[in-house]
């Protein structure tokens, strides 16, 4: 599957910080999918570590969106979540091959109340 170059160029040129942080966020989401329910040989929870990495990547994505002018510090949590979802959907169109990561994102954006609470906590 190949993505849309239009969406990739649009993200890369118009919102460069957000584009870079979305790449890291998608990889963190793929890590959640890959490591869910797994433990290391010594008993460390790989799923928890992957979720921690996701939260750090999400926080960086929110900060990048502020730098690119997509959102403002005074934006409401709902507006921030809507803008994040919009940018994420554009990223999906540009790079459709990350199906495991997109399954995690669908679960995240599906429950709006939890997603808004997460955004509020990270701000």
Residues 72-101 have pLDDT tens digits of: 999 999 999 999 999 999 999 999 999 999
In this prediction, residues 47-57 reach a mean pLDDT of 92
**Rounded CA separation 65/122 (Å):** 13
Judged against a pLDDT cut of 60, whether residue 1 lies above it is answered with: no
Q: Give the single-character DSSP code of 60.
A: H
Judged against a pLDDT cut of 70, whether residue 16 lies above it is answered with: yes
What's the pTM value of the predicted model, to 2 decimals?
Answer: 0.88
Burial of 43 (C-beta count, 10 Å sphere; 0-12/13-18/19+):
exposed
């Amino acid at each position: 599957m190949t993505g849309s170059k239009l969406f990739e160029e649009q993200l890369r040129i118009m919102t460069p910080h957000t584009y870079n942080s979305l790449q890291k966020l998608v990889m963190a989401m793929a890590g959640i999918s890959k490591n869910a329910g797994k433990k290391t040989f010594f008993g460390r929870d790989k799923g928890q570590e992957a979720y921690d990495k996701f939260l750090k990547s999400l926080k960086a994505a929110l900060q990048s969106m502020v730098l690119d002018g997509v959102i403002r510090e005074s934006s409401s949590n709902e507006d921030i979540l809507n803008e994040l979802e919009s940018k994420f959907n554009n990223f999906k169109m540009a790079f459709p091959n990350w199906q495991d990561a997109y399954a995690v994102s669908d679960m995240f954006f599906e429950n709006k109340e939890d997603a808004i609470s997460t955004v509020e906590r990270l701000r």
